[in-house]
Structure 1
Amino acid sequence: MGEIKPANASLSWEKVALMNFGVDFSLWNGLLSGTAEYYLKNTSDILLAYNVPFEVGIAQSQSPSQNVAKVRNRGFELALSHRNQIKKFSYNIGANFSINSNKIVDLASSNNIINNLSGGHGVAKYILKEGESIGSFYGFKSDGLYTQEEIDAGRYYKYGGIIPNAGDTKFVPQRDIAWKEEINDDDRTIIGCEVPKFTYGINLSMNYANFELSAFGQGVSGADVAFEVYQVHPFFHGQDNPRKYHLGRWTTSNPNPHANYPRIYTANDPHTAYNRAFNEYQVFDADYFRLKTLTLGYNIPKSLINQWGITSLKFYITGENLLTLRADKKMKDFDPETAGSTIQALGTKSLAFGVNLSF
């Protein structure tokens, strides 16, 4: 039976206040046109499980929802289009760009709210914190992996009472503590955000005589993704398969302090908990650009087909997901258009040949 939350008869709808300024323009007889818009969106009375005193006798997960939180989004959107024709050659190039800043304005004196990442099995964490963005990851900063020289010299921090070995993650404390002291949850901080700062797209269409070419691509910048399932579970939980980049892990024969992956232990070794703590090693740069579609077509001249009662005949070939560029080269086998803690299979690359026939 699931948890039962106390009812709140005073709940109401969220409120949104939106202000925007925009302009549409067309220059040089339509050679360049576009739209530009600035917006400011304030959302208040957002439902939030508000912290209640312990004396009430209910767990935090059972706290009743109240209309207390406030979030602000502000951003700028720009779309441009350029078209022209030079004798038999015509083209149209379009591009769009948007930037958005998301900030939690008020949690109504509630403490920072830390939640497990959906599908994260208790490892990856989100935090809701005033002044920060929704979708912020909360964990330990890391500075590579410990070397044997650092361990021998006592230049390390314990975690969970465990003294690290060479090849273990080098957590960076956020407090002023001495070597060999204990890092704890107070040393966690924001280590990334899944909400992109920029999104963009570009489309192209060209015609020359009977040939046609069109393309569309899109991407994001300033986004992170926490794939802790694939960083942790292949070895610590017996789930999923290791990835190719795990071959670059730390070993005694490859004591690289910046290896792709920390030292590996057996399942019952206590050091597994040390490296399992959610940290920057489990957060990846999710910036990408993907060529979504590319189509090349040829229209058969009407002089060759009209005698057969055909008004138009076009042959074309279309490719989908032919090219994906990623900022993080280690993660070549994940689909950057997905989010969450589970890596999704890459979007299928495909080539299709087709015919458009009209009578």
Structure 2
Amino acid sequence: IYAPNYGTTDSFGGQSYGTAYDTTGSNGGGTLPSGFKRNQIGNDNIKWETTTQTNVGIDFSLFKQSLYGSLEYYYKKTTDILTEMAGVGVLGEGGNRWINSGAMKNQGFEFNLGYRNKTAFGLTYDLNGNISTYRNEILELPETVAANGKFGGNGVKSVVGHTYNSQVGYIADGIFKSQEEVDNHATQEGAAVGRIRYRDIDHNGVIDEKDQEWIYDPTPAFSYGLNIYLEYKNFDLTMFWQGVQGVDIISDVKKKSDFWSASNVGFLNKGTRLLNAWSPTNPNSTIPALTRSDTNNEQRVSTYFVENGSFLKLRNIQLGYTVPAVISKKLRMERLRFYCSAQNLLTIKSKDFTGEDPENPNFSYPIPVNITFGLNIGF
């Protein structure tokens, strides 16, 4: 791929790099024609990725269809993944190219079970629950691609054998509470009382890049849901609960709520968690001491920002009342029903989660609560 890159004058009056050249010999007396530069090398052998998937499932119903459900297992493997391979320096500018290289697998199962019946006193009910899980693994990648961080690993470790988009980082091991703790710890640039202490994983006495470990996996342990339908006389109630368990999130909000110096704009409003920052009079705080300069590099990827994003949400709930047919017919209606419904009314989350909504843990808008009153009329 070739593209024109006409040189333009920058804000300092100089000429930026470009492909324009004075082929006419006008000595800059007119608009210079632009040449082209190479952006990437072609690949005549490139082809589509290949995906093979196997699904095995069963649907069942028992006891006059009162007990029902399904079970499904799947295995999906993708090979010849399209990856961009950087070229060696001797190829010059635009030496990268796309190749087919790499493989990834996904596997998981989903189990659904329900029971519906009617009690002797007239309560009709239908309860349905489901649970599902999946696992992802990068099976194969070129070494340079596996280590550049595009598929995970932050450019520190190869992502092969790990989950797509998993990350490595430092293990935050509490707060230095005394100068003695600082002196007895491995050499850590920026270490001081009130600062985050990072674990010396390789025990070489120095906190460096080798002290990073896999700390973040975006794959939940499992997801689940529960549907409830109840009907008694003229009243009906429906609920839908949905949850995710054992999922990691990385909180970028913490950089604003827990640190004064984690932004290059030091005088923006900060989060109220800073009011509980470590100090000699507040020695048990897990929030580092206030500072105007981040000499300890506490913005680095570490377990300090990894939190439990598990949640259980009441997605929908609706309560309805159907007017008796005798009354609705007098109103020249076949059916008249009043109802009140709400969406996202309740969220149960981990006590370790410091944000507002684990489903939108960073700077997305929170999912709003919607309450609706209505009626259904049938003629």
Q: Taking structure 1 as the reference length, what is the TM-score of the superposition?
A: 0.85
Aligned to 2:192: 165
- The C-alpha deviation readout for 1:276-331, integer Å capped at 9, x for no partner, is 21111111111111101110000000111201211111111111111101114442
* One-letter amino acid of the counterpart of residue 248, structure 1: N
Distance 1:8 1:222 in 2: 42
SS of match in other structure, 1:8: coil
Does residue 338 of the first structure (1) align with residue 338 of the second (2)? no
Aligned to 2:277: 249
- The C-alpha deviation readout for 1:54-84, integer Å capped at 9, x for no partner, is 444458xx73222111101111111111111
SS of match in other structure, 2:326: helix
In the TM superposition, residue 206 of structure 1 has moved relative to its aligned partner by 0.7
Aligned to 2:31: none
Distance 2:274 2:179 in 1: 24
In the TM superposition, residue 155 of structure 1 has moved relative to its aligned partner by 2.0
Aligned to 2:10: none
Distance 2:151 2:53 in 1: 31
In the TM superposition, residue 157 of structure 1 has moved relative to its aligned partner by 3.0
Aligned to 1:308: 331
In the TM superposition, residue 275 of structure 1 has moved relative to its aligned partner by 1.1
Aligned to 1:206: 230
Question: Which deviates more, 31-40 or 203-212?
Answer: 31-40
Distance 1:192 1:164 in 2: 24
Tell me: CA distance 1:126–1:303, structure 2 relative to 1, closer, same or farther (3 Å): farther
* One-letter amino acid of the counterpart of residue 176, structure 1: H
Aligned to 1:47: 82
In the TM superposition, residue 200 of structure 1 has moved relative to its aligned partner by 1.0
Residue 95 of structure 1: which of 129, 153, 169 is its match? 129
Does residue 107 of the first structure (1) align with residue 141 of the second (2)? yes
Does residue 175 of the first structure (1) align with residue 202 of the second (2)? yes
Aligned to 1:142: 172
* One-letter amino acid of the counterpart of residue 43, structure 2: N
**Larger Rg: 1 or 2?**
2
In the TM superposition, residue 50 of structure 1 has moved relative to its aligned partner by 2.7
SS of match in other structure, 1:186: helix
Distance 1:328 1:53 in 2: 49
* One-letter amino acid of the counterpart of residue 212, structure 2: R
Tell me: CA distance 1:73–1:150, structure 2 relative to 1, closer, same or farther (3 Å): farther
Tell me: CA distance 1:35–1:303, structure 2 relative to 1, closer, same or farther (3 Å): same
Task: Tell me the C-alpha RMSD between the 2 structures.
Answer: 2.7
Higher strand share: 1
In the TM superposition, residue 26 of structure 1 has moved relative to its aligned partner by 1.1
Tell me: CA distance 1:115–1:264, structure 2 relative to 1, closer, same or farther (3 Å): farther
Q: Taking structure 2 as the reference length, what is the TM-score of the superposition?
A: 0.81
> Comparing both chains, which one has the higher relative contact order based on Cα–Cα distances under 8 Å and sequence gaps of 6 or more?
1
Q: Judge conservation of contact 2:307–2:352 (CA < 8 Å) in 1.
A: no
Count of aligned pairs between the two proteins: 337
Aligned to 2:99: 66
In the TM superposition, residue 332 of structure 1 has moved relative to its aligned partner by 4.4
SS of match in other structure, 2:304: helix
Distance 1:11 1:41 in 2: 22
In the TM superposition, residue 140 of structure 1 has moved relative to its aligned partner by 0.7
In the TM superposition, residue 7 of structure 1 has moved relative to its aligned partner by 3.0
Task: Structure 2 unaligned segments of length 5 or more: list them.
Answer: 6-36
Residue 26 of structure 1: which of 51, 56, 61 is its match? 61
Higher helix share: 1
Tell me: CA distance 1:297–1:45, structure 2 relative to 1, closer, same or farther (3 Å): same
Tell me: CA distance 1:15–1:115, structure 2 relative to 1, closer, same or farther (3 Å): closer
Task: Structure 1 unaligned segments of length 5 or more: list them.
Answer: 118-123
- The C-alpha deviation readout for 1:210-258, integer Å capped at 9, x for no partner, is 00000001111121111225425873323875334343332232122x5
- The C-alpha deviation readout for 1:78-135, integer Å capped at 9, x for no partner, is 1111111124211111111111111111113334232599xxxxxx889761110012
Percent identity between the two aligned chains? 26
* One-letter amino acid of the counterpart of residue 192, structure 1: Y
Aligned to 1:219: 243
* One-letter amino acid of the counterpart of residue 279, structure 2: T
Aligned to 1:83: 116
In the TM superposition, residue 24 of structure 1 has moved relative to its aligned partner by 1.1
Q: Judge conservation of contact 2:70–2:113 (CA < 8 Å) in 1.
A: yes
* One-letter amino acid of the counterpart of residue 101, structure 1: R
* One-letter amino acid of the counterpart of residue 228, structure 2: L
Tell me: CA distance 1:5–1:148, structure 2 relative to 1, closer, same or farther (3 Å): farther
